[in-house]
Each structure stands twice: as C-alpha cells, then as structure tokens.
Structure 1
C-alpha cells in the first residue's frame, strides 16, 4: 500500500509543477462566459519601458509597483511597425493591427490625390461641441478599422458604453472609435470638448467638470519636485543645455514659476506639467460616475490616455529631472485611482492594462557629449540631392515631395516621359541609402510584394499603407534625428528605444507574473476581445496573449 501511495503522491506533485505560472500559483480562472464590469486602458504617452525600473525606488507600494507585483507584465513588448508616433500608437492598440491596415500612418500625412495634408483626426465636416474654437473639428474618419470600443458596442446592441479621454484629441478619438464617446482638451479655451461626430451637446457631467476650472488651480503655484530634488539621482543635473523652457523662462530649472508663465501663455500650460495627468484622472472619475460605467451587467470600456508625459518629454528629454518628477507624480495618482477602483468595483471586477504609444530617444547633444553615436539628418539637402541626381538620370524631375521619411514621386511626369515608376523608386532608394545617417530604404513595389525576415524591414512594411504611403520609405541610423534638435527629444524610429513599451495586465483574474516572450502592442486588442467575449476588430492582425498570461500552450 505504501508503494502505491508513493506513486500517487509523485503524480500529484508532477501535475502541480506543470500548473504553475512562471513560479506563481495560478489564480482560479473565471467561467468563460463571465466578463469584467469595466475594462480600463491606460496609455501613457511617450512612456519608455525603462521608466518602470529607473524610478522604482521612488514609487510607492500601491501604484506602478502594485501593477507589476500583482499583475502580469510583458517585458518584451514592442510596436511592430514604424513610424512610432502618437496617432499610429493609439490606433494600433485599439484596432489590433498596424498602419498597413488601419491606415493611420502618422500624426499627419501628405494626400496623394490633392497634394494637401491631413491631420490624423481632422474632419472639417463636423464642428466643436463645448467651445467656440475649431479644436473640435475632429473624428476618426481616417481610421480604416473598427476599434474594440466599436466591437464591444456592436456586440451588446449598443448597451455597453465606451468613453475615450485624453488631453490630445487623437489620444481619445482613435480608441473610442466610431461609436463611443470621445473627449479631449481645448488648449485655446482651456476646457474639455467633443465634436458633433459624437454628440450634439456635452453631457451635464462634462459641463460640471469644466465648471471646476481645475487648470486655474494647477497654475496658481510653482511646479516643484514632489520629493527633494537632491534624491533624483537617476537624472542629470537640473541646469543643463539639453532642455527647453517655458515662454518667459530663462533656464530650465526647478521651481517652474507657473503663475508667471500662465500670464504669458494662458492656463493651458498646465498640460505641459504633471498636473495634466492629475486633470486626466479627475476627468476619469467624473466619467465613471457621470456615465455610471461598470454599473450593470454589460461590460463598459474606459480608454484613458495621458498626454502630458509626451509634452514634458519633448521639452526636457528622458534624462531630465522633470521627466522623473512626472512619473513619480503619476505613480501617486495611479495609486489613488487603483484605490478608487477597489472601493467602487473591487479589483476582481475590473480589467486594466497599461501601455504606451511609443518611446523616446535621448537628446542628441547629450549623447554627443558622452561620445555616443548620434547625428542630425538634413531633409532639405536630401530633397535637393534626389532632384539633382534623378534629373541627371531621367532628364526630368520625378520628385513630387519629401515628407517625414517618405518620398512621393510625380507619377504624372513619370507617365508622360514613358518611364516605369518602379525603376525610379529603385534609383531613388539607392540615392537615399548613400546619404549620411540613412540606414535603409525600401520601395513601394518591394513593400507591396516582398516578404521580409529582418525585424526592421518587417516594421517598415507594417507601417506602409498602399493607398496613403509614399513611393520610397526610408529610416535613419539609431539615435539620428530628422532635425537640428538641440533640446528635448523626439520619436518615430523603428529602433528599440522608440518601439519597446511597457505592457501590464491587472485585475479581474489576472495572475501575478511576467514573460519575456516577444509580443506586439497590436496584440492587445484581441486579448481584450477574448477577455470580454466579443468579436475581433475588422482589421485585426494581432495574436491574443491570454494563453501566455495563464501559462497555457498555444499554437497558431
């Protein structure tokens, strides 16, 4: 009998070993038909992955650390396309696909049919709701796929609610999609607004929120560091030549005299401080209560995007004390928000994910002073070179325009001269590759028909939309910049400092754990869809991550 007991114990131990998830006991999963009462997406604009651990010792126990310790973190998550900008980032998270499919190829782009330019959410057919400015002439009309907000609403016969909130219009509109509600900040009239695409008038709760005039409170005192500035040893000296300033400010140093700068630029300058995050959280509380989100049997969606870290990052750069203070303050606001969710819903009834829309590069002058590889690329000189050399080859100028890192050819001139467009594309790509700082170039012909195994080439291809992108797409060497930037930073490259993003799942029945399995940010939407039992978006190309979270094997 002892022998058989020993065998039984061995079998039980064997099974136990294979039902653990990355060393953590797996939580009991809900029945498949159950769904959380509320899904909350938190996107932190320009949040680099390393900010989680760079400032770890300054975070409290119940904000970012709570997400990491109690949630499931994907530590090798990347945007699987380029360019890495705000518009494409938000569209990719909520549509589950890339610019090749959803069509949001930048924050703005050249229109091949008219020769004009469009803003990512610009729409002159709608008007502002909530102010007298034109800041509300916005909609998702350029997006070619539904978002998870749309699919949730369709699935529940429009009973579920979906609300997008951000300071930036594109940070709320693209997640809310075509059938949700989107609210964003009017920097001119300093209030939250929407457009007639979504509604005819603002709900009472939004008007009440605007009546609080929180921006006036935020700029009534100087911006000082939350903790003693001498403890911010993860950042460079406060007074340096790599950072920008507010209008009227002589040096980029703490304390920042917001009352004085608001006199010059208006109260909207608070959006360029951590208090923009506080404002966004306050709007989130108002939305949850005003719309009664998560209060019935239908799952609701709240899409939050925090725009201020991007404004601050562009001005000061990743090495600054201003960026460090921004994330320390964000952590405290997140702690308050998670506590609010505990009190009003219970952690087990909400599903939260936190991610970013892109990363950021270090300031080029800072890198140069450290002796690290960097450089500045001159687009106007490259345009002149292209025109000159292509004219020498073909006897006419086939260049229409050079925008961002895309070359658009003059197809009318090419046809009139009897030249094959793909030949001009190849010659132009060869010229571009010869330019100092250009890492590579791919023609539209290659992007439409080719198959690539190299990661960077794949990212360029996924960022190419056949109807909207140029004839040649090129990209720069790591840490090269498309301007003579002296202060702050920018983003948009296919390299890891721009493509890698935090991705943490929390709440519901999410087990604690982490994974370094490569995943794409465009995998988020299908993962959410699986959690709430709704169809994938119309353009979905991502792969759900649920099986990784729960330690299950999956094959595609």
Structure 2
C-alpha cells in the first residue's frame, strides 16, 4: 500500500509543517532581552517564550564567531572546520588578499554590481536537503540585510536569496539562483527603500523607552534623532532598528506574492534581523538606541507571527529564532582602571618571526602575510629549501609564545591533530585547512590586537555572551530549558520536523522532546 503525502500527514499526531521560518537575529543577547522584557508586548518574544520551547543557554561549538560563520553553522549543523565558512572574510592564499565569503566572479548580480554565490560553502544545508527530499518542489527563500547572511542561509539549491545593496539600497540577488523574480522586482518598483530612506527619521518609539534606565539613570535620559542621508546612509540604516522593519516589509511581499506554505510540501523561509548597536558604536554612546532596537524588534517578531498565522494558519508553521552569538568589539582603555592590558602588533610579530626564521634557515620571506591574529607562511619557499614544515612551525611557535601579550600559539598541524583535546576543540572547530593561517596567535584577554598596515584593531575578549534558541508552532511542547545546548543542533532538529535527512556534514543529534 502506498501512502500519499496528504495521507501521511492525516495519519500522524505530529504533522509536517507547511512552512519553516528560521529567524537569525544578529547579536541578540539573553541579558538584554531580560532587561527590556517589561517593555515588550504580548505578541513577540513573550508569546514565543510562553507558547514555545525556549533554550535559554545556547552557544556555538567554535570560537571567533561572526555573522557569516554563525549563519553557516545554523544551516549546515556543523562548524567551519567542515563547512568552510571561517568568517565573513578570510585570506586568499593564491592572491594574498582578503576575500568575502560569498565572492564568486562567475555570477552576475541582480540590481547590484556585486558578484556573489554560496560556492565557498563546502557542505549541504538543511534547505538543500529539503530541496532534494521534495524533488525540487519545496520553495526556499532567504532575506537578510547583508549578502553573506542571505546567501549562506539560502544554501546551494534555493529559489532566491535577497539582500540590501550597500550602494543603491535596492533588494538585490545573484544570478546563481536564476532570474530575479517578478514579484521581487514589483517591490523594488512600488515600495523601493531608496525612495523612502531620505524621509525616514529614527526617534524613540515612546517616552517609556526613552526614559527606561537599564543603561542610564533617569536624570541622564535623552532622546535621539537619526536621519539617513549622505554617503553612509545605507550602512547606517542597516545598523538601525528600521532595518528589521524593511526585512519584514520584503518578507510580507514574498509571502503575499509566492506560494510559500500553500500546499502540503514543506517550504522554507530564512530571515535575518539586527540587534546590535547603531553604527556599531559602543553601547555607552547609543544606549537609548539599543533599548529602542529591542522594543521595535519585539514588535517586528509579533508582526511576523501574525503574517504567518494569516498566510499559513496557526500550528501549520514552525518558527525557529536564535542569535549569531557574538557582539561587536568595544575598544576600552583598561589601563585607566588598572586592569592588565597592552597592545599586540600582528605586523611587528610577523616581521620579528621572519627575521628569526632567516637567522635559522637563511634569507627569504618566510611569513607571507597576516590576517587577524593568523600568520601565513610561504610554503613554496619552505618546500624549495627542502625544510621540514613541522620543524618550522615548532620553531615559530616557540618564538612567538615568548612575546608580551601572547597567551598561546597554535599551529595548523597542532589544530589538525587535536580533535580529542577538549581545551582547544572550539578553536580547532573554527579552523579550516584551506582558508585559515598556518599559525594562530591567541592574545591575552584585555589586550588590543592591531595591524599597522590595515590600521584594524580589535580588543581580545573571551567572556561569555548568552543567547536563546526558540522553537514555536507546529505542536511544539511549551517549556523553558536551562540545560546548555549548541547551535549545531538546530539543523538536525528542523530536519526531523520536516522528516528529511540532516545536512551531509551534520553529526549533531536533534534536540529531544521538542514536541
């Protein structure tokens, strides 16, 4: 006897969702959610926590997290060691120049001059598996302010990935996914952001938000007004609370003009919101803006749930909400408070190491370049000189560990062979043989890492950033779980809901008793 998809759904107590919506909120933090909870309404975070399953102590199973590596982990169920996305940018060994994680010169852009694709993503995503399981019938779309989040969430086989172009403010895409759809083009004609942005004025949504005193005392309370003009208007808009409204606008247009969630074949929609600080400034400079961002974010989530209930029906969709699990660096003068600190120059460390290796092995440029706190060796020179790479790496490690501000030094070989060592597993998980450096310098917490050539500087920090994972809808059992979980469990859990295979490099088990 052969059962049709509809018969299978009718004969089970746990129907397959008609639509899965994954919402990744860039830099969402549990402590801020708790701090601003009294400002939230009934239909956003409070509804998800009341009627859904909440894991309040989530983490990423690797270090050096950013937006791109986080989204890739959520969708593939694995770490950069396997999926290849070590960050938004990495050093291209062939050109010795930094490259964007979605760069692809073979693809043309739609409504953008940028050329992007998911070609650097080495493994399948949960959306790829859905496409394969349904013979391509499932619809898969991804919408995000930035190209990396949109494309990595879409995966290889999606119907479309859309982001806001940094130059024009238009919703853009890539030819990798085929033609730019008519429904998206109609949005850019009728409700184009570039036609509205100059008239937008961001002020606190209410006096209550303006006078809320989580960061500031009532006596210090002050409002703000931000307009989006000039050369940086799109950049500033993407770091404001209004970008989440724009994501919802485009998501609503997508829901209204596509067949997402309209049949018994599960479809998938990925959205990315922003919960960081305005213009990536320190919290102390924009405290009211951050409070307002969380309150407006709560309203956007409530609006999204209303849209889904109207389009698909309550209980027929699965909503997953989580965070990218990091926060923007804030450069602080620790010395002012007598906290141990210092400045570590990657450029100087690279030059000194090269001088040392020349003294040992003879003339040559042994260190080709540096990226972040990683050093890239000239492996061709080492091979031409018939040197033992292991010996060179060991000597380099012993030399660098003596420098002030260095907590530890890891070579690529040490990381590749350390799968069972718990203390460095998270660092190994963030490493990829093809895209990471030969030497990782772990700088002591509290120290500034500077690159004198690029003028980039970051503050080394190893403190924990708590964030949640929420599952809502589709017969999810309401409960708040305080047991720690890792984000790589999302993909296999969602795959179980859809009754498909987990992504092909995902070894994490799905969460149990979710429904």
| Partner residue of 1:200 out of 179, 191, 202 | 179
Rounded Cα–Cα distance in structure 2 between residues aligned with 1:155 and 1:406: 40
Deviations 1:382-406 (A, max 9, x none): 2223223333333344211111122
The match for 2:117 is 139
What are the residue-to-residue correspondences of 1:452-467 with 2, within 5 Å? 452-455=420-423, 457-467=424-434
Matched, 1:549 2:514: yes
The match for 2:214 is 234
What are the residue-to-residue correspondences of 1:474-513 with 2, within 5 Å? 474-483=441-450, 495-497=462-464, 500-513=466-479
What are the residue-to-residue correspondences of 1:232-271 with 2, within 5 Å? 232-236=212-216, 254-258=223-227, 261-263=228-230, 265-266=232-233, 269-271=236-238
Contact 2:449 2:457 (C-alpha < 8 Å) held by counterparts = no
Aligned to 1:197, the other structure's residue is in SS state: helix
Evaluate the alpha carbon distance shift between residue 205 and residue 362 of structure 1 in structure 2; reply closer, same or farther with a 3 A threshold. closer
What are the residue-to-residue correspondences of 1:325-344 with 2, within 5 Å? 325-344=292-311
Q: How many residues align?
A: 498
| Partner residue of 1:519 out of 485, 489, 499 | 485
Rounded Cα–Cα distance in structure 2 between residues aligned with 1:144 and 1:336: 35
Evaluate the alpha carbon distance shift between residue 393 and residue 227 of structure 1 in structure 2; reply closer, same or farther with a 3 A threshold. farther
The match for 2:129 is 151
Aligned to 1:303, the other structure's residue is in SS state: strand
Matched, 1:403 2:382: no
| Partner residue of 1:217 out of 185, 196, 218 | 196
| Partner residue of 1:299 out of 266, 281, 305 | 266
Rounded Cα–Cα distance in structure 1 between residues aligned with 2:233 and 2:28: 26
The match for 1:377 is 344
Which TM-score applies when normalising by structure 2?
Answer: 0.88
Q: CA deviation at 1:263?
A: 4.2
The match for 1:282 is 249
Aligned to 2:470, the other structure's residue is in SS state: strand
What are the residue-to-residue correspondences of 1:13-412 with 2, within 5 Å? 31=12, 34-129=15-110, 131=111, 133-135=112-114, 137-180=115-158, 181-228=160-207, 230-236=210-216, 254-258=223-227, 261-263=228-230, 265-266=232-233, 269-306=236-273, 308-310=274-276, 312=278, 314-317=280-283, 320-360=287-327, 363-365=330-332, 376-396=343-363, 397-412=365-380
Aligned to 2:196, the other structure's residue is in SS state: helix
Aligned to 2:179, the other structure's residue is in SS state: coil
Q: CA deviation at 1:236?
A: 4.2
Deviations 1:93-141 (A, max 9, x none): 0011110001111111112244343210011111111x2x413x11000
Contact 1:238 1:254 (C-alpha < 8 Å) held by counterparts = no
The match for 1:25 is none
Rounded Cα–Cα distance in structure 1 between residues aligned with 2:418 and 2:461: 19
Rounded Cα–Cα distance in structure 2 between residues aligned with 1:415 and 1:454: 33
Q: CA deviation at 1:408?
A: 1.1
Contact 2:201 2:225 (C-alpha < 8 Å) held by counterparts = yes
Matched, 1:422 2:394: no
- Comparing 153-162 with 379-388, greater Cα deviation is found at 379-388
Rounded Cα–Cα distance in structure 2 between residues aligned with 1:207 and 1:354: 29
Evaluate the alpha carbon distance shift between residue 495 and residue 267 of structure 1 in structure 2; reply closer, same or farther with a 3 A threshold. closer
Deviations 1:513-537 (A, max 9, x none): 1223232111111110011101111
Deviations 1:251-292 (A, max 9, x none): xx842340xx51454466422311111000111111112112
The match for 2:5 is none
Rounded Cα–Cα distance in structure 2 between residues aligned with 1:111 and 1:484: 18
Evaluate the alpha carbon distance shift between residue 91 and residue 221 of structure 1 in structure 2; reply closer, same or farther with a 3 A threshold. closer
Rounded Cα–Cα distance in structure 2 between residues aligned with 1:492 and 1:92: 24
Contact 1:109 1:118 (C-alpha < 8 Å) held by counterparts = yes
Rounded Cα–Cα distance in structure 2 between residues aligned with 1:207 and 1:269: 25
Deviations 1:395-438 (A, max 9, x none): 34421111112211111222233321112212222333333333
Q: Please, what is the CA RMSD of the aligned residues?
A: 2.9
User: Unaligned 5+ residue runs, structure 1?
Assistant: 1-29, 241-252, 551-556
User: Unaligned 5+ residue runs, structure 2?
Assistant: 1-10
The match for 1:6 is none
